[in-house]
A and B are shown apart, each in its own frame.
Chain A
Amino acid sequence: EAQVTQNPRYLITVTGKKLTVTCSQNMNHEYMSWYRQDPGLGLRQIYYSMNVEVTDKGDVPEGYKVSRKEKRNFPLILESPSPNQTSLYFCASSLRQGFNEKLFFGSGTQLSVL
Chain B
Amino acid sequence: KNQVEQSPQSLIILEGKNCTLQCNYTVSPFSNLRWYKQDTGRGPVSLTIMTFSENTKSNGRYTATLDADTKQSSLHITASQLSDSASYICVARSGGYQKVTFGIGTKLQVIP
Interface residues of A (CB under 8 A from B): 4, 40-45, 90, 92, 97-100, 102-103, 105-108
- List, sorted by A's number, 14 A–B pairs whose CB atoms are closer than 8 Å: A4-B43, A41-B104, A42-B103, A43-B89, A90-B44, A92-B43, A97-B98, A100-B51, A105-B44, A105-B45, A107-B41, A107-B43, A108-B42, A108-B43
Q: Is the interface of B mostly helix, strand, loop or mixed?
A: strand
The total of Cβ contacts below 8 Å across the A-B interface reads 41
Given the known interface contacts A40-B104, A42-B89, A42-B103, the answer about A100 and B41 at a Cβ–Cβ threshold of 8 Å is: no
For chain B, residues 41 to 55, give those with C-beta under 8 angstroms from any C-beta of chain A. Answer: 41-46, 49, 51
- Counting contact residues on chain B (CB < 8 A from A), the size range is 10 to 19
Which of chain B's residues have a CB closer than 8 A to the CB of A98? 98
Known: A99-B32, A100-B51. A107 touches B42 (CB 8 A): yes
Given known A-B contacts A42-B103, A100-B32, A90 and B51 have beta carbons under 8 A apart = no
Which of chain A's residues has its CB closest to B104's CB? A42
Contact B49 A103 (CB under 8 A): no
Find chain B residues with CB under 8 A from A100 CB: 32, 49, 51
B: residues with CB less than 8 A from A are 31-32, 34, 41-46, 49, 51, 89, 93, 98, 100, 102-105
A43 to B36, CA, bound (A): 12
Q: With A and B bound together, what is the CA distance between A109 and B43 in angstroms? A: 10
Q: Which residue of chain A is the closest to B99 with respect to CB atoms? A: A45
Q: Write out the residue numbers on chain A whose beta carbons fall within 8 Å of the beta carbon of B45.
A: 105
Bound: A106/B31 CA distance, A? 25
How long is the Cα–Cα vector from A80 to B44 in the complex, in angstroms?
28
CB pair B46–A103 under 8 Å, yes or no, is yes
Q: B28 CB to closest chain A CB, in angstroms?
A: 16
